[in-house]
Homo-oligomer: A and B are copies of this chain.
């Protein structure tokens, strides 16, 4: 099979020396990649600079990216070149990217300016509406310095939504068996299943692996693989997860 795996965690620049990083060791992605490779499949592995990855070999192609935007263009390029039998989207992708960063002083100056232009704002609904306009104005127009001024006591960071990568995968590669991942923090098994199920339906996944950060400790890694029929299987370690995913994808592919 021709497999595409995304793994690691994207990061979004704040300025030339700082960025917002989604933590991911890449250890699970590495295990999944190595399991597919061990079974003789071809793997295109899209990952981030810090993350672990499978040992290099002939059947492995590694593509490095940093931001969510990089990821999107790297994937679109891959989809032009290849038709994948399966896509394993395990990368921790930033939901948000930096829009602008302002000192509290500059933010308040701009906000006060734009609000006073609006005249008397004692009405809550009117004020709320104007605040949305002002924030859009500030977020979209104010440019920050190359390096954030360290003088100010408080900084305001505006983050705007990134495109949801997972939502485009099935449309771009309808033939691919799509495995999505959902990480939650400190939730019940019921909620984990429910959210995983929702992600699966929404993004036309064939499988979703739902897991909870509080149940991940090194190689111990609890989680539930959900399929489109709502059937579930659990795994306890990264290797078990890798084995389970590869087995399920191979089975589905043979049908």
Contact = CB atoms under 8 A, between A and B. Distances in A.
Interface in A96-146: 96, 99, 104, 107-109, 111-113, 115-116, 119-124, 127-128, 131-132, 135, 139, 146
Nearest to A125: B112
B18 A22 contact: yes
A250 to B, nearest CB: 30
A139 B116 contact: no
Interface stretch (A30-38, A74-82, A147-155): A147-155
Interface stretch (A9-17, A217-225, A238-246): A9-17
Nearest first, the 3 closest Cβ-Cβ pairs linking A and B are A157-B157, A155-B159, A95-B150
A127 B115 contact: yes
Total identical chains: 2
A41 B95 CA distance: 47
Contacts of A132: 104, 108
A60 interface: no
A141 B44 CA distance: 47
Given A115-B127, A152-B161, A20 B17 contact: no
Given A112-B124, A131-B111, A213 B156 contact: no
18 contacts: A11-B21, A16-B213, A17-B22, A17-B23, A17-B185, A18-B20, A19-B21, A96-B148, A112-B124, A112-B127, A113-B124, A115-B121, A116-B121, A116-B122, A147-B185, A153-B161, A154-B158, A157-B157
